[in-house]
């Protein structure tokens, strides 16, 4: 018995499910690596964080095998996964010709982006 080709909606759903699954597994793996590195270097999870999140040090921390790099990257991937889902939906809706839903997705991404910008601005001002 042959299966009918997947509809565009089914294909989009499968793609989004894969994206969410991969994002979750990658973030869990990075967080686990960070915790294992903490154990290796003798640091407790209860110790104060040596520094706040700085994207500029992320690559250096990871290449140097510092736990902070893996932990921060794991958190970034975890937090970015839902936005990546919305972005994939925008592309899928646009390809399917559902312009209204594509605009809704873009509006959601704009709200998320503005929240990040406001958070960075307010976080940097000490508020």
List pLDDT tens digits, range 1-13: 556 666 777 888 8
Domain membership of residue 109 (yes or no) is yes
Domain count, the chain: 1
CA 20, CA 84: separation in Å to the nearest integer? 8
CA 87, CA 84: separation in Å to the nearest integer? 5
DSSP 4-72: PPPPHHHHHHHHHHHHHHHHHHHHHHHHHHHHHHHHHHT--TTSPPSS---HHHHHHHHHTT-HHHHHH
Domain membership of residue 93 (yes or no) is yes
Domain membership of residue 1 (yes or no) is no
Which residues neighbour 28 within 8 Å (Cβ) at sequence distance 6 or greater?
A: 74
- Using DSSP's 3-state secondary structure scheme, residue 77 falls into helix
pLDDT at 68 over 80: yes
Domain membership of residue 26 (yes or no) is yes
CA 58, CA 70: separation in Å to the nearest integer? 8
The domain of 67 spans 8-124
Q: Computed over its alpha carbons, how large is the radius of gyration of the chain?
A: 19
Residues of the chain with pLDDT > 90, as a percent, come to: 61
The residue among 7 and 111 whose pLDDT is bigger is 111
Which pLDDT tens digit goes with each residue over 25-50?
999 999 999 999 999 999 887 887 77
Domain membership of residue 2 (yes or no) is no
Domain membership of residue 100 (yes or no) is yes
């Amino acid at each position: 018995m042959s299966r009918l080709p997947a509809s565009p909606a089914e294909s989009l759903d499968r793609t989004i499910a894969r994206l969410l699954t991969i994002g979750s597994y990658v973030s869990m793996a990075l967080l686990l690596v960070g915790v294992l590195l903490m154990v290796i270097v003798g640091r407790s999870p209860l110790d104060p964080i040596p520094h706040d999140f700085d994207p500029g040090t992320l690559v250096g921390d990871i290449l140097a095998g510092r736990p902070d790099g893996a932990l921060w990257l794991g958190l970034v991937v975890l937090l970015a996964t839902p936005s990546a889902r919305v972005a994939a939906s925008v592309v899928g809706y646009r390809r399917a010709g559902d312009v209204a839903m594509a605009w809704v997705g873009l509006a959601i991404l704009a709200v998320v982006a503005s929240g990040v910008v406001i958070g960075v601005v307010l976080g940097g001002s000490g508020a």
